[in-house]
């Protein structure tokens, strides 16, 4: 009885219903940082857990740790290389230490919507990027979509000059730092789990993120409003350690790869709708959402787009050209 209580207390602390793994099953710990409700990644990870545990019962068992309960994104890739976690889906902005090819995804106004991102990823260049970190011990199994980023601050943002002198939390990405500097703002890299507190206490003034993240982390509660800029994207790499992946039995690896691919297709098709639901939930909760008129939007484009030049060498002009062709 004592032991059962202790186990229940432990899983309550972890904040997630952990799967009941049996002896002999390969345990797949999946660590991520977002919430699970009205969130494209949260929903996809839960579905993946459900399917693995049903269909691979006896051979593999997945435990999903959401909400940074196991690792934040700065720690998770190192933990993966150490073998302490087997799967994760950090945003493409979080691979700075491993590769520069993903910098294309952070360039402002590079992709007009998430379908354009999907098409680019399906191209040969996008598929090759899945293996760009093989030498560093990481392998991408696929891309999961979140959506378009919006801007928020503790004062209204309509012109890019409204952001001048403000401190903005960014993911730890050189492109995102340069983007904020182009607006005359000061970029502050910070873990996702710390952003709400930093906005609340005024350590930073603003942030950029998708509707689902702004809703899931309740950023709208501690910001003046959110401006619908759609200036960039957040997308994820479903990533595993190459050694771990190659060490799986062929049958296990193939079944797992198939489930990951099916979950990817099913949930990516819904990512736009999930973000729209989150946007509506923000409005329903009293959050202020501001629209830009055509001139204001053009001013954001003119301010941010020059950042491309700084990074065209890292991401390849041919990739920029390919992305622009898809946008047309």
Report the interface residues with ligand LMR, using CB under 6 A: 33-34, 91, 146, 171, 192, 209, 213, 234
Nearer to ligand LMR, 51 or 149 (CB): 149
Q: How far is the CB of 192 from ligand LMR (least distance, A)?
A: 4
Picking from 137, 143, 152, the residue whose alpha carbon sits closest to that of residue 90 is 143
Q: How far is the CB of 19 from ligand LMR (least distance, A)?
A: 22
Report the alpha-carbon angle 288-293-298, nearest 5: 120
Contact 183, 249 (CB under 8 A): no
CA distance 168 to 202: 11
CA distance 243 to 296: 49
Q: How far is the CB of 211 from ligand LMR (least distance, A)?
A: 11
Residue 22, judged by CB atoms within 10 A of its CB (0-12, 13-18, 19+), counts as exposed
Nearer to ligand LMR, 271 or 303 (CB): 271
Nearer to ligand LMR, 94 or 248 (CB): 94
Nearer to ligand LMR, 212 or 319 (CB): 212
Q: How far is the CB of 305 from ligand LMR (least distance, A)?
A: 22
Nearer to ligand LMR, 50 or 194 (CB): 194
Q: How far is the CB of 23 from ligand LMR (least distance, A)?
A: 33
DSSP for 262-291, written as a single string: HHHHHHHTTHHHHHHHHHHHHHHTT--EE-
CA distance 91 to 97: 13
């Amino acid at each position: 009885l004592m032991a059962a209580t202790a186990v229940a207390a432990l899983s309550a602390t972890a904040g997630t219903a952990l799967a009941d793994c049996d002896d002999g099953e390969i345990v797949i710990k999946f660590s991520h940082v977002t919430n699970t409700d009205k969130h494209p990644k949260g929903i996809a990870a839960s579905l993946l857990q459900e399917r693995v545990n049903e269909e691979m019962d006896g051979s593999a068992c997945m435990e999903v740790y959401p909400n940074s309960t196991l690792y934040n994104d700065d720690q998770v890739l190192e933990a993966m290389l150490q073998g302490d976690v087997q799967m994760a889906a950090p945003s493409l902005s979080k691979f700075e230490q491993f590769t520069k090819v993903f910098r294309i995804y952070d360039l402002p106004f590079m992709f007009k919507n998430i379908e354009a991102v999907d098409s680019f990823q399906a191209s040969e260049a996008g598929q090759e990027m899945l293996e760009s970190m093989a030498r560093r011990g990481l392998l991408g199994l696929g891309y999961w979509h979140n959506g378009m980023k919006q801007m928020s601050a503790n004062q209204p943002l309509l012109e890019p000059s409204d952001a001048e002198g403000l401190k903005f939390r960014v993911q730890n990405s050189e492109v995102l730092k340069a983007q904020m500097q182009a607006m005359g703002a000061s970029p502050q890299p910070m873990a996702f789990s710390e952003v709400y507190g930093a906005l609340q206490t005024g350590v930073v003034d603003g942030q950029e993120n998708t509707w689902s993240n702004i809703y899931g982390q309740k950023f709208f509660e501690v910001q003046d409003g959110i401006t619908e800029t759609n200036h960039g994207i957040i997308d994820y790499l479903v990533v595993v350690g190459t050694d771990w992946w190659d060490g799986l039995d062929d049958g296990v690896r193939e079944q797992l790869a198939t489930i990951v691919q099916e979950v990817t297709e099913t949930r990516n098709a819904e990512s736009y709708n999930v973000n729209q639901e989150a946007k509506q939930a923000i409005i329903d909760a009293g959050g202020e959402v501001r629209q830009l008129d055509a001139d204001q939007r053009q001013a954001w484009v003119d301010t941010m787009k020059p950042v491309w030049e700084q990074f065209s060498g890292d991401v390849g002009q041919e990739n920029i050209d390919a992305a622009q062709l898809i946008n047309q």
